Amino acid sequence: MSKRTWIVVLGAVVSALGPALVARADTPPPPSFPTTTVYAKCLEGSRVQNVPIGEGGVVTWTKQRPYLNFASVAAAGCWYTDDDVASTAPLVWEGTVTGNLSALTVSVDDFVAADTWRAVPLELTVSLTIDGQPVVDNAVLTLPAKGSDLRNGGLTKLAQFSVTDLASRFGTEPGPGTAVHTVAVSFAGAGGVHNWAWGCVEAPSGVVFNPAVVAPVGVSGAGAAAGA
């Protein structure tokens, strides 16, 4: 086959494959869900966060994991006393996260009340909004009493819950996504006094977005989208 013939054949192949190659190059990648971990920040003014929160303060978060101890000279850490009475508002954490969302897991330590937890499950009332849209509205979750969740020599108990099935509403961008979502999660315990703590090595409480493994206890975030 002559050189001229090869050129003609090659041109024909390129002409045939060209549209397919262009289409493939223009096809966006599927959504992906990288994990992001944030930690609740203490509001200034008082280690008892009921005071600054009651004055209009909003608990936000940071990607910086707490590195100071509760009993250190710097007096790191704070807590919110949830005493299960009508005058006590649920604790609310609010902040932003960038990218697609499929699920989230909230982890928070309960100081002092660990003795009660050894024998009695914890009932939590949980709400979640994302970008101002209701996702979970006062869902009641029951966390079992498990000694394996005791930490800090039995002085604290770790509470964890997840919200799943978020991707259909907040996880549709190509790749990891670029949208900045405003997330507000609130929770309140029933049955006695709970001291939700964060901001120190002993209680690095916060939220994991798109966790590799979700908490055993959780609620689907698809219900609100379906009008449930």
pLDDT digits (tens, 9 = 90+) for 96-151: 999 999 999 999 998 865 555 556 788 899 999 999 999 999 999 998 877 667 77
CB distance 102 to 210 below 8 Å? yes
- Using alpha carbons, list the distances in angstroms from residue 185 to 21, 40, 58, 119, 132: 45, 11, 12, 27, 11
- Higher-confidence residue of 5 and 124: namely 124
Residue range 14-28, pLDDT digits in tens: 555 555 544 455 899
Q: Judge residue 123's burial from the number of C-beta atoms within 10 Å of its C-beta, 0-12 exposed, 13-18 middle, 19 or more buried.
A: middle
Domain boundaries, the chain: 29-220
Task: Give the mean model confidence (pLDDT) for residues 152-177.
Answer: 92
Whole-angstrom Cα distance, residue 134 to residue 184?
10
Q: Is the pLDDT of residue 226 over 50?
A: no
Beta bridge partners of 37: 208
Q: Is the pLDDT of residue 86 over 70?
A: no
Neighbours of 227 (CB within 10 A): 5
Which residues, other chains included, contact 54 with Cβ-Cβ below 8 Å and sequence gap of 6+?
Answer: none
Nearest to 49 by CA among 74, 86, 82: 82
Pairing of strands 104-111, 194-198: antiparallel
Q: Is the pLDDT of residue 189 over 50?
A: yes
pLDDT score recorded for residue 9: 44
* pLDDT confidence bin for 227, thresholds 50/70/90: very low
184's tokens: 């507000």
- Higher-confidence residue of 200 and 121: namely 200
What architecture does CATH give domain 29-220?
Sandwich (2.60)
Q: Is the pLDDT of residue 157 over 90?
A: no
